[in-house]
Chain A
């Protein structure tokens, strides 16, 4: 018994010694105003270490409750030692972290003293556990521990993560700043426009509760003071004032604000802030609403939304997600169909980008090999394409009836092909065809003016077909909603544009 007690006293003594050494290190590290790189390093462990004593005290509490029921005596010496040691380590690392600055001094002070009390109580509990002590004394100490650890945790959390109650649904409507209050004849730029923007999109992280980068944007004075990286307003220069510039950085940039995924500032709001900075960024700036530049006139319209309607936003997101998923599925499906083809034919099909399902058929390299039979076999895939380039190819008329059925087809290039009237008339029923290139074909203007349909056509290229100015004009009147391009080199015919010799007859592998 004597021996064990001596061991514990030894343990206690050495643990206290460690605590004192850490404390002394802390003070020596922070001599003068310069903080040492070691204190930064050790301070970084605070978020890791601090959770251990909390967990341990909760375990002790749970065990004590259980023992209350079974009336069994429990041996908590080891757990209390663990709590005492880890709370000391947590206290030391927290001390370093606090010295790094950037925290609200009042909250930091409360956090420090409640943590100090908790560390002390933990050690006392351990000593009481080792020495024979009454149950009531132990129970009192346990409750003191619980109270102090709760306080320390609460203040610590407030400093770093903000007050969760501030966002409680019964207290606060996140949509409070969603709609800009109506503005009268005179616009007080800061109060009426700038402050609501900042309240809606910045203050949740740069406000009284959470002060990321020690920056607060909730009051005019705080904006002027800036944060730990300096002022956010530089001269009267919007291009150098971080308040504005960070919102204009690319979204993936680490410095971009508001962070990716949060509601962003749109161009109108940026223009308002830019105007405010350029005109002295003063709190008193007032201008008649008629003088508000057109770049942010939109904000004066009653009911201007700073934050999207949550219901509509959720619906929009769900729709977008659905569309994305369908595109992914369709892309995979198309890709597997493409992969079934021999590689040189598969390479004629490319997607517009890395993610979508917009497919292009551009057989530039393979034009020499593409016979009309081969084309026919590719038709099921070609019909899935958004952009189809068939220029310079020999095309059977039957192909066009199939193409016209395609709902994917938007952009079709038939330049330098042997186009026939039949082909064109079958194509006219194509539902979504917007861009049709008939450059240097043997087209006659009558074919086009007699064609009904082409309901979605936006752009039509009919250059170099020997069409006269009158014919061109008649095509224009026939398609009033379509841009008809073909004025250059009028009366030049298709024969003059020499098509390439694409055939690679000998020596191909």
Chain B
């Protein structure tokens, strides 16, 4: 055998099956062993049963709420002109902000020494509780005794996208699972004919954090939020093409399911299960979603009370849709309304801009709460309203120059959110800010605490709601943090 044939045999033997098997005997054995041994701990070996990932599951302890409607005012409304009344600011209106407030603080746009800004709208006492509330929310006054305020909210982020991500996914960075995904992962959903987590957007734009705010992150993608279109058909292509009837659609799906199921049994990728259940869901959606999402079926007086505008994009439509969805057992309905970033530039003023936005939401929100109550849904539906952070007690001083109109900058030290339903104390305020509304003075509530409290209302322990990813037990409220449940909010 000469050198060349020797070389040829060597290179051939390196690629033959027999050689391969001989050489990696130990490795193959190890692979087999790890897959077998893994089963002992229940970690590997997905079950080949078609377990429905969205089937209703039992919460850790008896829940107060079964469903959630989260009304997010993207851009962060000014708590100081709506709910957190600070008469001290009238006295100091136009005066320089005391230096002890500015020390060590960073603002998104303010530089130099800004002046304090008094509330730009009148406040009046409302309801049996007599809480002060801005006059630009006239309808809200009627429901104030159903509402529980948290005036001591705090966050870590003062830019929109990271702050929205922190509020909705528990992390200011991309890639984490949103609260709606966590909750459908933990509890499944009651209505198998509709998605468990639905997202409705108004205000002309998606929130700054974009679709990541309702992403399923590292959780299986079946838990992702389903966004409805704001105008026209909420979900496209729900109708079958003209030559296809429902029976032949069923046959097509059965065949595809069978192929997917075989593939899953071979490969065991959970995303295949997601695909199967999405096809099934869409099939059922064809039947039921058209009906659930059709607000035109509502009687006239309902439309009047919400102030809806069928066919157009509007927050009022979304509120009515939200009610129709929770009525049908959708677990988590997320509303985003864009346009609350009132810096005082252009149209975005505290005077007209904020008043205009309030006018858009005031009647629908009051109608939603009353409508839920009327139907007996408010007892087990938690409604949460809020922005991603607050706004400064100072007038915005962008780049050291004040504009002609009035605005406020982003503020992470203190802001206000409210909740209603699910047994929260009506007409109650938790937490308190200092006389300027700059810092929290009593009972601070971090967004993590808010998340833990929302999970608690649903019967979930934020510590035990976890998912193994990248070697850590991931949680909505963080891997190492210890959030506090604010039990005081509930009666």
Q: Is the CB of A353 within 8 A of B247?
A: no
Is A351 positioned at the interface, with any CB of B under 8 Å from its CB?
yes
User: What residues on B are CB-neighbors of A365 within 8 Å?
Assistant: 190-193, 329
Looking across the interface, which residue of chain B has its beta carbon closest to that of A351?
Answer: B58
User: What residues on A are CB-neighbors of B484 within 8 Å?
Assistant: 248-250
Bound form: Cα–Cα A504–B373 in Å: 30
Q: Residues 458-489 of chain A: 1 if any B CB is under 8 Å from the residue's CB, otherwise 0?
A: 01010110000000000000000000011011
Q: Is the CB of B246 within 8 A of A439?
A: no
A364/B191 contact (C-beta < 8 A), A351-B58, A354-B58, A463-B375 known = yes
User: What residues on B are CB-neighbors of A354 within 8 Å?
Assistant: 58-61
Q: Residues 460-491 of chain B: 1 if any A CB is under 8 Å from the residue's CB, otherwise 0?
A: 01010000000000000000001011000000
Looking across the interface, which residue of chain B has its beta carbon closest to that of A239?
Answer: B444
Q: Is the CB of B58 within 8 A of A350?
A: yes
Is A3 positioned at the interface, with any CB of B under 8 Å from its CB?
no
Say how far A421's CB is from chain B's closest CB, in angstroms.
21
Is A347 positioned at the interface, with any CB of B under 8 Å from its CB?
yes
Q: Is the CB of A364 within 8 A of B329?
A: yes
A461/B376 contact (C-beta < 8 A), A353-B459, A356-B62 known = yes
User: What residues on A are CB-neighbors of B463 within 8 Å?
Assistant: 250, 252
Say how far A363's CB is from chain B's closest CB, in angstroms.
10
Bound form: Cα–Cα A299–B216 in Å: 49
Q: Is the CB of B62 within 8 A of A498?
A: no
Is A413 positioned at the interface, with any CB of B under 8 Å from its CB?
yes
Q: Which of B249, B297, B298, B301 has the most CB of A within 10 A?
A: B301
Is A320 positioned at the interface, with any CB of B under 8 Å from its CB?
no
Instruction: Name B's interface SS.
Output: loop
Q: Residues 400-436 of chain B: 1 if any A CB is under 8 Å from the residue's CB, otherwise 0?
A: 0000000000000000000000000000000000000
User: What residues on A are CB-neighbors of B292 within 8 Å?
Assistant: 500
User: What residues on A are CB-neighbors of B375 within 8 Å?
Assistant: 415, 437, 439, 461, 463
A509/B329 contact (C-beta < 8 A), A415-B375, A489-B301, A492-B301 known = no
Q: Residues 190-222 of chain B: 1 if any A CB is under 8 Å from the residue's CB, otherwise 0?
A: 111100000000000000000000000000000
Q: Residues 346-389 of chain B: 1 if any A CB is under 8 Å from the residue's CB, otherwise 0?
A: 00000000000000000000000011011110010000000000
Is A362 positioned at the interface, with any CB of B under 8 Å from its CB?
yes
In A244-299, the 8 Å CB interface with B consists of: 248-250, 252-253, 255
Bound form: Cα–Cα A357–B284 in Å: 32
Is B287 positioned at the interface, with any CB of A under 8 Å from its CB?
yes
Is B268 positioned at the interface, with any CB of A under 8 Å from its CB?
no
Q: Is the CB of B376 within 8 A of A496?
A: no
Is B63 positioned at the interface, with any CB of A under 8 Å from its CB?
yes
A507/B61 contact (C-beta < 8 A), A252-B463, A489-B305 known = no
Q: Among B56, B58, B301, B328, which residue has its beta carbon within 8 angstroms of that of A353?
A: B58
Say how far B207's CB is from chain A's closest CB, in angstroms.
30
Q: Is the CB of B190 within 8 A of A353?
A: no
User: What residues on A are CB-neighbors of B231 within 8 Å?
Assistant: none
Is A435 positioned at the interface, with any CB of B under 8 Å from its CB?
yes
Is A70 positioned at the interface, with any CB of B under 8 Å from its CB?
no
Q: Is the CB of B482 within 8 A of A250?
A: yes
Q: Which of A353, A365, A463 has the most CB of B within 10 A?
A: A365
A497/B190 contact (C-beta < 8 A), A252-B463, A353-B62, A485-B376 known = no
User: What residues on A are CB-neighbors of B193 within 8 Å?
Assistant: 365
Q: Is the CB of A498 within 8 A of B63?
A: no
A-B contact pairs, 30 of them (CB 8 A): A250-B463, A250-B484, A250-B485, A253-B482, A347-B56, A352-B62, A353-B61, A355-B61, A356-B62, A362-B190, A362-B329, A365-B190, A365-B192, A415-B376, A435-B376, A439-B376, A461-B375, A488-B370, A488-B373, A489-B374, A492-B299, A492-B301, A498-B298, A500-B288, A500-B292, A500-B328, A504-B284, A507-B249, A507-B250, A509-B250
Top 5 nearest A-B pairs (CB, nearest first) are A496-B299, A364-B329, A437-B376, A463-B374, A365-B192
Using a CB–CB cutoff of 8 Å, the interface residues on chain A facing chain B are: 239, 248-250, 252-253, 255, 347, 350-356, 358, 362, 364-365, 413, 415, 435, 437, 439, 459, 461, 463-464, 485-486, 488-489, 492, 496-498, 500-501, 504, 506-507, 509
